Amino acid sequence: MSSLDALKQSTVVVADTGNFKQLAKYAPRDATTNPSLILKAVQHPDYAHLLHETVEAHRGEPMDLVVDQVLVRFGVEILKVVPGRVSTEVDARLSFDTAATIARAQRIIDLYDAAGVARDRVLIKIASTWEGIQAARALEHEGIHCNLTLLFSFCQAVACGEAGVTLISPFVGRIYDWYKKQAGAAWDEQAMAGVNDPGVRSVTRIYEYYKHFGIETEVMGASFRNVGQILALAGCDLLTISPELLEQLQSMDQPVVRRLDPAAARAASVKAVSYNEASFRYALNEDAMATEKLAEGIRLFAADAGKLEALIQAA
């Protein structure tokens, strides 16, 4: 048994890519996309026709609608390969506008519906700002399932659980990046690996909190830098993994030990916390890593959304 197959014994494996022709090889249940992954995919020769066909079919329509048509076109193709769900992201430039995020999410779901895709096969990705979390709360009440992304802090996770979102994507690798950069020459890679990795510790704390208090929101670790981070989170509800790391796991035969266990989390000593808008904003502000990484992530996704628009205009 490969390490990938062993991991699947305790965790749902999700592919983090817009390159759907790679997916069958790894047999993930779900797939996630974001503006950066779609931008990369549409520039690949195998997928360029999807961009051109979609743009031609919707020429003259507003740019934001054409972008959503492109995102949904990729999502539809992905769902032909995976048996589960695809995550499609709302424009990051709407991250601080609750009403606009809700409207954009509703439109994406309508586009999937027009393509014959049931809404339970789609997760709407929204940045874990206060405004994004409140948008997700409203959308979940409409039966539109959400994946709260760019999640770096415990307060974001707690607020998402309180909002009843379907799934969160805490970012392991970007947390690791921040702490490694802060430590500089003092960083000890070996000592900070595996369960000691700061990104792994963050996801573990969130997972234990959710399971201890019976919060139904699914935890999907994301943004991995190496297979060690992935294996240290074996047992997490889901893990979304790049094709490069999926390939490594498939080529390995290292046994996989379950690290996260709901029974152990329920038995742990965990203190309940709650956030309103003011306390959420203060807690996030107190976490320099989360504040910086959330802002940086929104800027990067927004920049790639702009690049995708430029490609559409040139098509």
- Active site (catalytic) residues: 125
Q: In a 3-state reduction of DSSP, which class is residue 33?
A: coil
- The end-to-end CA distance of the chain, in Å, is 45
CA 136 distance to own-chain centroid = 14
Q: What does each C-alpha distance from 151 to 64, 167, 255, 295 come to in angstroms? A: 25, 11, 29, 11
In sign, the C-alpha dihedral spanning 133, 283, 198, 235 is negative
Q: What does each C-alpha distance from 221 to 69, 183, 231, 260 come to in angstroms? A: 28, 23, 11, 12
Give the span between the Cα atoms of 268 and 52, in whole angstroms: 54
Contact 183, 236 (CB under 8 A): no
Spatial CA neighbour of 273 closest among 195, 216, 209, 192? 209
Give the span between the Cα atoms of 176 and 192, in whole angstroms: 9
Tokens describing residue 10: 């305790």
CA 32 distance to own-chain centroid = 6
The Cβ of residue 281 has, within 10 Å, a number of other Cβ atoms equal to 14
